[in-house]
Chain A
Amino acid sequence: MASLKDLRNRINSVKATRKITKAMQMVAAAKLRRAQEAAEAARPYAVRMDTVLANLARAVTDTNSASPLLVGTGKSDVHLLIMMTASRGLCGGFNTNIAKLVRVHARKLLSEGKQVKIIAVGRKGAENLRRDFGQHIIERIDMSGMKFVGFEKAAEIGDKVMAMFEAGEFDVATMFFSEFKSVISQQPTALQLIPAHIPETDGSEKSSLGDAVYEYEPEEDAILDYLLKRNISTQIFRGLLENAASEQGARMSAMDSATRNATEMIDALTITYNRQRQAQITKELIEIISGAEAL
């Protein structure tokens, strides 16, 4: 049985932990709002890009001459997996879930006899996969120390991926990130970047353009080419932003339950402490009384 002093120390230490988790929760909540705003602000660009791209891609009929970014290289031997995770822990299952998805994916590809290359954005994912897929990780991109996600960073990663693609280092690229559904729900998602996944646009989008026929300067193929390249960076940027928001959301709910657990623990410990104190007082009283009676 722990002594009264031990119990008091336990209670104090749990209280200190609760203070920290509570503070982290509040910081995450503030950061989450900013991350959500950033993701919202970036949406118009991505939506526009998707619309124009879908319009152009629909017009492509000859798949032989079309850009390999759209139709692929015709092979799928080497797969590039771009894994986006946080550079910090203490955010519940956030990093683990993404890494798990990558792991399942990589295992499947390897068992089919394909080659797998991994680019790890953010520190935590790389640490998670180091043991199983260490030799497949070809590049680590550190995101720590960055206050917010800038498009420059996304463009940098995009350029890297493009350069590798043009050098023929892979055939299919897939991006893994956590989609921000709500504060309490983040969905690890795989999105194929190359060949491009062209979003389906419904009829309403088209009707806003009327039946007007676009004129293209320069010609369609050149624009499509230009847009497909841009699209990679845009998608990566979107992934980074979603991921940033998801990370804060995950951290917030993880810290919320940690705070609640600490409170429960403090309550339980306080009851034990009080009972023990009471028992000790009773014991002392019995000792005094029986001592007096013996006289």
Chain B
Amino acid sequence: MAATFKFELVSPERVLMSSDAEQVVVPGVEGQFTVLPDHAPVISTLAPGVIQVTTPDAKKGIFVQSGFADVTGDSLTILAERAFIVDEVDPRQIQEELDAAQKALESADDDEARNHIGRAIEELKALHAEA
């Protein structure tokens, strides 16, 4: 069995996931990075995208809109405001998210926000196509 570290996904409302993981791919704002055990401490904000978690028994994809990751040697904590597990989500919910994002895009007033939402929409569309 490969070495593991503690992975936690926390939303403001509750702890969404807490388990041991062998490897986690995180969509950082400056590019994706993979966290393995004993990773150097990093704090990074997240871009909209899918976090891929490899636990000893399963592989899971989790979609996040925004948030940040706190990596220490033996743990990875992701604080995300909106997140859902890709396999368990209802396609309708993705559609709803997509609609909300489109609306947000129209009312966004600076380039940075537009960029961020634009990426979220692309990711959501990709998910929708899969589902």
Contact = CB atoms under 8 A, between A and B. Distances in A.
Nearest to A227: B68
Contacts of B79: 45, 48-49
Size band of the interface chain A makes with B: 20 to 34
Interface string B39-56: 011111100000000000
Contacts, number: 75
A160 to B, nearest CB: 14
B28 interface: yes
Interface residues of B, number: 23
Interface in A187-219: 208-210, 212-218
Given A151-B81, A209-B72, A218-B29, A45 B10 contact: yes
A222 to B, nearest CB: 8
Interface string B41-77: 1111100000000000000000000001010110001
A134 B13 CA distance: 34
Contact of B43 (A41, A42, A46, A223): A223
Interface of A: 38, 41-42, 44-46, 48-49, 52, 56, 150-151, 154-155, 208-210, 212-218, 222-223, 226-227, 230, 233-234, 237
Interface of B: 8, 10-15, 28-30, 40-45, 68, 70, 72-73, 77, 79, 81
24 contacts: A45-B13, A45-B79, A46-B12, A48-B10, A49-B79, A52-B70, A150-B13, A154-B12, A210-B73, A212-B72, A212-B73, A214-B42, A215-B40, A215-B42, A215-B43, A217-B28, A217-B42, A217-B43, A223-B44, A223-B68, A230-B81, A233-B12, A234-B12, A237-B12
Report, nearest first, the 5 A-B pairs whose CB atoms are least far apart: A217-B44, A41-B14, A151-B12, A212-B41, A215-B42
